[in-house]
Structure 1
């Protein structure tokens, strides 16, 4: 599976794409939505674009009262296959004083027809968190050259990092970050084929939960080490305070599910998401028997059940939901 659709909503607001630079496409302020009513998506063509991303943002800043903008989605930038979003980040950091109301920012709302997730070139993204200390929601898509050193942020509540392969150094940076207000953490760890070389030891500070005292929603998903993650979660202190646990989209087998069930109680959860898995029917039944009486909303999505692929020599292939 790949990502085929742009974000429809972000930061609690409907996404709206700022018009491109085609002749006649520009609109006056009166024709555009109110600045604080939508999540503005700003993007350009990857190749042969009529303008650069900074030029598009300059047009946006002329057409919209940016002092009222609360949610911003960065779409495609120029040559995203080869170039990271350095110019994008520099432009936004330079405009920080003009964006006092910004509370939600997503970097890289790029779909497969523009650039596959594993081919999106990223870079050092934490200057955006430094520049916007009032930010509550921050999302990033793409793991190639992604750099996320440990960072403190007092107000961030939701962090989303979507990759086809998340470098271990990035996982360690996020895990070491001081995010006392964070309630929602969503990491797509991906596969080693696309740079996802982390292991459960890199996740240890997240599983301990010491730096995340308010975490309620934890998603560690889209991983080829999903069983190992579930085994670690079975005894992880952070689980006891969660409302939502998401181990979906990865290579989850009966071994990982059994580890969760035989570990610490999960009956306090409101939701356990396991969709896209390699579970047997017997394990699915066991999960339902244990968790449904406790009114845990269980997403096993039988229509999304995966089957092993095998070579002639008997080699078994299993795949995460979003890789390339």
Structure 2
């Protein structure tokens, strides 16, 4: 997995991993509301999640916890997320201050993205009506075909940031986001991925989001990591939602001169503060035209290409994150 790392901060707080019990010279734990708590079982043979979770609730004032990251929840053989999520949701009343939740803060050294089996994450939004930020990392396909990443349309009045990091985001999840009522949502990122790993979302699935009516407070939109990035760019070029945005990300995918030209020919983007196109396949002449069109207006551009791409070679185009 590229473009994926353990965050140093989450929901505006520094990330702090709960230490293993009995660690020598362990300093006192920080105040519960001063950090984003990360729980990690991968290297802890004696404390799988079933033991780690009650220990966390016992040693931290859970009523003050503002942000929570769930790292590897297994030791040895990989396990489904569903039992872990059920345990957290069963104790939702002990986390009244929770505002940020990160499901599967896992990097490739711990588990490949395509092996991260997700589940229905709708109960997270239902159990935490004051949640402001939700990040979900994982693919649409399940190794066992018994539990896949899914979402049902919901109403949530507090959610401000929603982020799906996936090498294969199901179109059903995109359609559910579009059908949900999220009046406070300011930031939305969708890593669509590839069909091989369950990423079957289409431009038609995105249409309600691009119309601008579904998310009145949206200020940042990322539709990224897609093998149909040119089609997405063409749709975005005429999308009403763009007028309300401060920043736009069409990065990490297979964007070529075709999609870039559509952006140049489409509606003005000079009102944006930032346009992120990194990991693209745009030739230098078109890159230069983008810079000339936007940089004089103060738009911050990210046009970093993939390290391995040579525009002179007839190589296939790849998304940044799939397996």
Count of equivalent residues:
316
Pick closer, same or farther for the CA change 1:197–1:132 going to 2, 3 Å. same
- Structure 1 residues 281, 180: CA separation in 2 closer, same or farther (over 3 Å shift)? same
Give 1:2 deviation, angstroms.
Answer: 2.9
Q: Distance in 2 between matches of 1:27 and 1:125?
A: 38
2:176 aligned partner? 173
1:50 matched residue in structure 2: 46
Which of 87, 91, 95 is equivalent to 1:91? 87
Structure 1 residues 300, 120: CA separation in 2 closer, same or farther (over 3 Å shift)? same
Query: Structure 2 stretches of 5 or more lacking a match?
Result: 142-147
For residues 92 and 195 of structure 1, do their structure 2 counterparts lie closer, same or farther at Cα, with a shift above 3 Å needed?
same
Counterpart contact for 1:106–1:139, Cα < 8 Å: yes
Contact 2:280/2:305 (8 A) holds in 1 = no
The CA deviation at 1:4 is 5.8
CA distance in 2, matches of 1:296, 1:270: 5
Aligned to 1:202: 205
4-13 or 127-136, which deviates more? 4-13
Provide the secondary structure at the position in 2 that maps to 1:105. strand
Question: What is the rounded CA distance, in whole Å, between the counterparts of 1:173 and 1:51 in structure 2?
Answer: 36
Alignment match of 1:107 (pick from 98, 103, 108): 103
Matches within 5 A, 1:99-138: 99-138=95-134
Partner of 2:189: 186
Counterpart CA distance in 1 for 2:223 and 2:14 is 26
Residue pair 2:8, 2:15 contacting (<8 A) in 1 also: yes
CA-based RMSD of the aligned residues comes to: 2.1
Q: 1:63 to 1:79 in 2, by over 3 A?
A: closer
Q: What's the counterpart of residue 285 of structure 2? A: 282
Q: Secondary structure at the match of 2:164?
A: strand
Query: Does the 8 Å contact 1:234/1:264 carry over to 2?
Result: yes
Q: 1:304 to 1:213 in 2, by over 3 A?
A: farther
Q: CA deviation at 1:77?
A: 1.4
Is 1:253 aligned to residue 256 of structure 2? yes
> Is the 1:54–1:87 Cα contact (8 Å) retained in structure 2?
no
**C-alpha distance in 2 between matches for 1:165 and 1:308:** 26
Call closer, same or farther: CA 1:279–1:197 in 2, change over 3 Å: same
Tell me the residue number matched to 1:15.
15
**CA distance change for structure 1 residues 273 and 305 in 2, over 3 Å: closer, same or farther?**
farther
Partner of 2:144: none
Distance 2:132 2:269 in 1: 28
- TM superposition score normalised by structure 2: 0.92
Asked whether the 8 Å contact 1:27–1:63 carries over to 2, the reply is no
User: Which residue matches 2:29?
Assistant: 32
Structure 1: gaps of 5 or more residues: none
